[in-house]
Chain A
Amino acid sequence: MANTIIMPKLSPTMEEGQISRWLKKEGDAIEANEPIAEVDTDKATMEVTSLEAGTLLKIVIGDGANAKLGETIGVIGAKGEDFSALLNGASTNGVSGKAEEGTGRPGDEQTNESAKGSQEKAASTAGEKEETVAEQGAQKLKENVSEIGGRSYDAQRPEAVDESESKIQNSESTTRLIVSPIAARMASENDINLKSIKGSGPNGRIIKRDIESALAEVSSPRFQVSGQENESASQTISSFEQTPEVQGASRFREENTSKMRQVIAQRLAQSIGPVPTFYLTVEIEMDKAMEFRKQLNASVSEAEKVSVNDIIVKVAAMASLKHPFVNSSYQGKTVRFYEDADVGVAVAIDEGLITPVVRGANRKGIIEISKEIKEMAARAREKKLQPEEYTGATFSISNLGMFGIEQFTAIINPPEAAIFAIGSAAPKAVVRDGEIVVRNVMNVTMSCDHRVIDGATGAKFLQTFKQMLENPILMLM
């Protein structure tokens, strides 16, 4: 017999969980006690194990979606079994006693009957007898009696409405926030962004309780940082289906922000402005990159000659794809991961500065990148850049090396998650293998939006970036 799989209580304070990912697909066989899904709770990512053996017949709550304690997240049973009755019964939360009319299956009626209180059962039995008298009043009474038993007043509401509402709730692209008036008021008084709150009321309505728990979370963090935090996000990069607002900019996909990520974001933003920034500096030996540039330029025409900065743009673009959080954007409820690295290159002009964007720098050759930058920089000075040419970068690079600046910090251009401040590459005495030697050394300081990039994430990126610049051959890998 088919059974529902419910969201279990995985921590003492858990009220709901987010399906981080399903480990099984619909149709997969499951052993008893086998892990079937990973769930982000308020504390950590935990595994949900199956209580019985069988086949995963249906995934009700998909990856990234939330379920309250006890809510049905899937169905397990024998292969090919009809479990529709089970799902109808399981969702009586929102479906009124009228459900039987919608589906017309005898099994549904039973499920609904048994879900009601015995009192209502008595009422409807009595009501049925009255019906033979064909008395409208008795029929009305039957309906009303079942309403009063705690169900909402709108027994007449067609089932279809309930269905579409629950679809809206599950869909990631929900646009309309449903908020109770007092919750809206409390949120505005406490400067809480309602978009960062998950509603626990019907149809995802944000209610007073949700604001209270958000306030409580902010004042008393109770999060353990688990090692596997969001690893799954970087592993499961698959389809970039969403198209950006800026024409020609990189396509992206959005993944729901984990609970932990939301709280980190909230707390850090409270501490430093709207974009809580931190800085990482790395020293890079540029000798090989400069040699690489020399060889490259020797074999191309004057117009095709590249700068060190062009190489840096290419390397940063490639490295960022290996560390998706660097090429991402914090969007509150979701983190936006970009398919391509659209690199903004800061160009100083008379009135200030502008950042022309090299679209898909990861896919372009260095010469092509170089040409584009030169061409756009020239037009930037003439103020002839189109808006789509200087907006919608996925991260930016600012280079003050030509001014002899050894090291500096740059300010992130929201909603980008990072900017790289490139200093001059100059010969310095360094120690290598116990010997003092002269090397061309360049400092790069990365400004990170802490809401998406943690210290280790940024550091790992810089490691890759450094390795590639120090051994340009790695760009081929």
Chain B
Amino acid sequence: MAILTIRDALNQALREEIIRDENVFIMGEEVAEYDGAYKVTRGLWKEFGDKRVVDTPITELGFAAVGVGAAMAGLRPVIEFMTFNFSILASDQIINHAAKMRYMSGGQFKVPIVFRGPNGSAYQVSSQHSQALEAFYANFPGLKVVMPSTPADAKGLLKSAIRDDNPVVFLEQERMYGIKGEVSEDPEFLIPLGVADVKREGTDCTIVARSMTVPLAMQAAEQMEKEFGVSVEVVDPRTIKPLDIDTIVKSVKKTNRLVVVEESHAFASVGAEISHQVMEHAFDYLDAPVKRISCAEAPMPYAKNLEELALPDVPKIIAAVKEVCYL
């Protein structure tokens, strides 16, 4: 076990998979000579050269399309978006081609491709660069959507994503690249897609959080325990699609109360989907309406104080937990 940042855990996963499988290559803006905009691909170009780590022009739609074609031809591309906000330009390739090809070719072509990069807010990058797009991609059949929250999850899930024969949208978080944690150095350390992780056990209230909101939920849980004696369970689905609803439902059946915390906007969000599925599968176990904490219903403000107010934070989570616990 080594203590790594999420950035280095991702780097390790990419490196191990490039070594393991000659079909794996990385492509994107500044991924090679510049070591990646957020240094996730640091040292890989130097070590493996032009064939395995490819710099592209600023042409998201173009290099995403090259990636889809390469995957159909048998390679395993990892496409980096400098931020997922830029993936919107490439969304025709992701949604209309990567997601559909296997189905529309009657199974003749599989598309083993990973689209990865930071998703959600950073620090004051304003409206166009702060969007959380997981609900957008999770809406389309054919795509898997993954959102790690710890270095170990980042590594184990990225390796599984690269080995998966389906297109995977792998959503990182810029604010979290520096988070440290224990990571296995076993080159076969894999975390299966579609399996949630109970990050903290509790009995009184479940918080379902993902990506950036997991550490916030953990802090809120500690504080609820200390200040109110409320035992909070934190469940991180890790994979948004396929969603491990069983783990969430099991937890809600135990605690009877649910708060979903997400960085995305509320309307038609992953939190909305989780709320629905919990209502469907655990209605008789609920003691309070499911509560959601989401991003404010507004484009992300640039102003620092407004940005902070728009995003989920520990006090908002605590208020929600207290509400569902009738405190």
Contact = CB atoms under 8 A, between A and B. Distances in A.
Contact of B287 (A117, A141, A152, A182): A182
B326 A140 contact: no
Contacts of B319: 149-150
Interface in A175-214: 180-185, 200-201, 207-209
Contacts, number: 75
Contacts of A201: 288, 326
Interface string A221-235: 000000000000000
Interface in B254-312: 256, 266, 283-288, 292-293, 296-299, 301, 303, 305-306, 309-310, 312
Contacts of B305: 122, 126
Contacts of A170: none
B20 interface: no
B315 interface: yes
B301 A141 contact: yes
Interface residues on A, range: 20 to 34
B287 A183 contact: yes
A148 interface: yes
B323 A150 contact: yes
B309 A145 contact: yes
A391 interface: no
Contact of A182 (B286, B298, B315, B320): B286
B129 to A, nearest CB: 16
Interface string A98-118: 000000000000000000010
A208 B327 CA distance: 13
Contacts of A148: 293, 296, 309, 312, 316
A455 interface: no
A389 B307 CA distance: 75
A209 B288 CA distance: 11
B306 A150 contact: no
A138 B298 contact: yes
B256 A208 contact: yes
Contacts of A183: 287
Given A149-B319, A150-B319, A144 B298 contact: yes
Given A119-B309, A181-B284, A140 B323 contact: no
B250 interface: no
Nearest to A201: B326
A150 B309 CA distance: 13
A149 B287 contact: no
Nearest to B298: A141
A352 to B, nearest CB: 44
A183 B320 CA distance: 20
Interface string A126-162: 1000000000011011001100111011000000000
Given A126-B305, A141-B306, A150-B316, A181 B286 contact: yes
A145 B287 contact: no
A463 B298 CA distance: 76
A64 to B, nearest CB: 24
Given A119-B309, A123-B309, A145 B296 contact: yes
B46 interface: no
B118 to A, nearest CB: 23
A103 B286 CA distance: 35
A181 B283 contact: yes
Given A119-B309, A145-B309, A149-B316, A181 B285 contact: yes
Interface in B12-60: none
B297 A180 contact: no
A141 B316 contact: no
A144 B294 CA distance: 10
Nearest to B283: A181
B175 interface: no
Contacts of A185: 284-285
Nearest to A208: B287
Nearest to B320: A150
26 contacts: A117-B315, A119-B309, A122-B309, A123-B306, A126-B305, A126-B309, A137-B299, A141-B296, A141-B301, A141-B309, A144-B310, A145-B309, A145-B310, A148-B293, A149-B315, A149-B319, A150-B316, A150-B320, A150-B323, A152-B323, A180-B256, A182-B256, A182-B287, A184-B284, A207-B288, A208-B287
Given A123-B306, A201-B326, 14 more contacts: A119-B309, A126-B303, A126-B305, A140-B296, A144-B297, A144-B298, A144-B310, A145-B296, A145-B309, A145-B310, A148-B296, A182-B256, A184-B284, A209-B326
Interface of A: 117, 119, 122-123, 126, 137-138, 140-141, 144-145, 148-150, 152-153, 180-185, 200-201, 207-209
